[in-house]
Every structure is written in structure tokens, then in C-alpha cells.
Amino acid sequence: MEGGSPHADGGGAPQHVAIIMDGNGRWAARRGLPRVAGHRAGAEAVRKVLRAAVKNGVQVLTLYAFSSENWRRPEEEVSDLKGLLGFYLERELDELAREGVRLELIGDPTPFGEGLVKRLKSAVERTAANDRLTLVVALNYGSRAEIAGAARRLAQAASAGELDPAMIDESDLAKELHTAQWPELDLLIRTSGEKRLSNFLLWQAAYAELVFVDTLWPDFDEAGFEAALGEFAARQRRFGGR
């Protein structure tokens, strides 16, 4: 991938951290609140973790905000999630700009509607010059679809005579992924006690360190993030070589 190769051997801070933000619904249910209350609390957790990522020198933070499978949820909940995303953009954009955070998107946000897509693109453009941290938000994202799309583009290039099919290797496919411009994924965190990837960054996670925590996402904070970084630093990364 263009962002580099595996770089850490333990003991250092990760360049690229991804988080599956799980547990909003259970957090709300335990309090007798509607699910949207959990999503709102989860948005507050994003703010805390973003601050911790900046503080600890993380270069890229990728958040699984809305999967391609989330459309199966009740229409009311999907509508609430879209509204919350718009609200978050309005409220947090100035702070992102002040903190030097660049916003990027992966996935296909077009089903969210023209109005929200326009605001998302505007936010990406407004923060484009920032270089302290890149915040990548995965919206309507699915890793299998991403990999299939990458393979399709390579097949089209080969069919057009632009590529020798026999010469296609892993690096060629990696360059076609949504994340090609950023460093390799070092650490993937999932909250809420679930231990699966849920179709998130499947290719990118091949040699990432995985940390699963029991904390529900709205309760995940700076201390929880730094504890995950500490676990990463304590591990010996071998990349299959020894």
C-alpha cells in the first residue's frame, strides 16, 4: 500500500488505528432508553477518542460508523443515525478544523441522500489542508464489496491490455482499496465484548493487532483508548516471519 509497510515491532505507538464502535444499543437498553440515545452517547465517545488519538500521535483513525449491512435495521433507527451524523458534522466541524484533523470518507455515502452527501463533501474539503490526524469515517462500507470492487478494476485493466494478469500481485490489489493512501493498519479495536470483524477492513487487518474490550462504546473513553495502545505496545509483532 502507498502509505507504507508494516513498521512496528512492538513498543511503539501505532500509526493507523481502526475501531468498530459497538454497543450503543445495549448501552441504551440497559438504561431503559431508546436506541438513538445510545447513538448520541456514542457520538460523545467519538469526541473523547479523537482527542486521545491526537494526544498519542496516531496518524490515522478509522471509525466504522455505518456498515452496508446497517440498512437492515429499522427505518426509524436508520433515519436517527443519518440525522445524528448531520448534527455531529454541524457541531464538531469547527473543532476538527481547530485541532488540525482532516476528515476523509470510505464506502459509498450516496444512499444517505444528496443533502447529507453535500455536507460531507464540504466537510472533507474544509479540512483537506489539516495534517495533525486523519479521521477516516466508514459510511455504507463493506469490506467484501471493497475487495470485489478492487478485483473488478484490476480485471477491467487486464481486459483492456493495461495489465498482465499473470503479474498481478497483492500490492496491485492493495492499491485499489479505499485505504491505499494511508499507512498499513496497525491496531483494530472492537468494543462491547464481541469478537468478530463484521466485514470491516478484512484485507487491511491481515497483520493488524486485534484488541477486543468489554466496554460498550458510549463508555469507551481516553483511558480505554490508551489502555488499548498500551496492549499494542506490549505485543511482539512478527508478521508471520518468525
Confidence at 66, pLDDT banded by 50, 70, 90: confident
Task: Name residues whose C-beta falls within 8 Å of residue 185's C-beta, 6 or more positions apart in sequence.
Answer: 16, 18, 62, 179, 201, 204, 205, 208
Asked whether residue 40 is marked as a ligand-binding residue, the answer is no
205-240 pLDDT, tens digit each: 999 999 999 999 999 999 999 999 999 999 987 666
Asked whether residue 132 is marked as a ligand-binding residue, the answer is no
Q: What sign has the CA pseudo-torsion 36, 41, 42, 43?
A: positive
Asked whether residue 27 is marked as a ligand-binding residue, the answer is yes
Q: Which amino acid is at 94?
A: D
Residue 202 near residue 144 (C-beta atoms within 8 A): yes
pLDDT for position 5: 41
Asked whether residue 23 is marked as a ligand-binding residue, the answer is yes
pLDDT for position 3: 42
- Point out the catalytic residue in the list 22, 80, 140, 186: 22
Active-site residue flag, 56: no
> How far is the C-alpha of 107 from the C-alpha of 143, rounded, in Å?
9
- Torsion angle of the four alpha carbons 164, 169, 170, 172, in this order, in degrees rounded to the nearest 10: -30
pLDDT for position 242: 57
pLDDT for position 171: 97
The overall pTM is greater than 0.85: yes
Residue 169 near residue 95 (C-beta atoms within 8 A): no
> How far is the C-alpha of 37 from the C-alpha of 217, rounded, in Å?
12
Spell out the domain ranges in the chain: 16-234
Residue 108, burial from CB neighbour count under 10 angstroms (0-12, 13-18, 19+): middle
With 60 as the cut, is the pLDDT of residue 45 above it?
yes
Choice between 3 and 147, residue whose per-residue pLDDT is larger: 147
Asked whether residue 237 is marked as a ligand-binding residue, the answer is no
> How far is the C-alpha of 234 from the C-alpha of 236, rounded, in Å?
7
Q: Which amino acid is at 198?
A: S
Closest CA to 208 of 2, 6, 3: 6
Choice between 2 and 146, residue whose per-residue pLDDT is larger: 146
> How far is the C-alpha of 186 from the C-alpha of 96, rounded, in Å?
23
With 60 as the cut, is the pLDDT of residue 191 above it?
yes
With 60 as the cut, is the pLDDT of residue 187 above it?
yes
Asked whether residue 67 is marked as a ligand-binding residue, the answer is yes
pLDDT for position 73: 79
101-128 pLDDT, tens digit each: 999 999 999 988 898 899 999 999 999 9
Choice between 4 and 156, residue whose per-residue pLDDT is larger: 156
- Point out the catalytic residue in the list 56, 70, 130, 199: 70
Confidence at 94, pLDDT banded by 50, 70, 90: confident
Q: What is the mean pLDDT of the chain?
A: 90
Q: How many CB atoms lie within 10 A of CB 77?
A: 15
Active-site residue flag, 199: no
Alpha-carbon distance values, 230 to 10, 15, 32, 150, 191 (Å):
10, 14, 34, 34, 16
14-40 pLDDT, tens digit each: 999 999 999 999 999 999 999 889 999
pLDDT for position 162: 96
Classified as helix, coil or strand, 85 is helix
What's the CATH code, domain 16-234? 3.40.1180.10
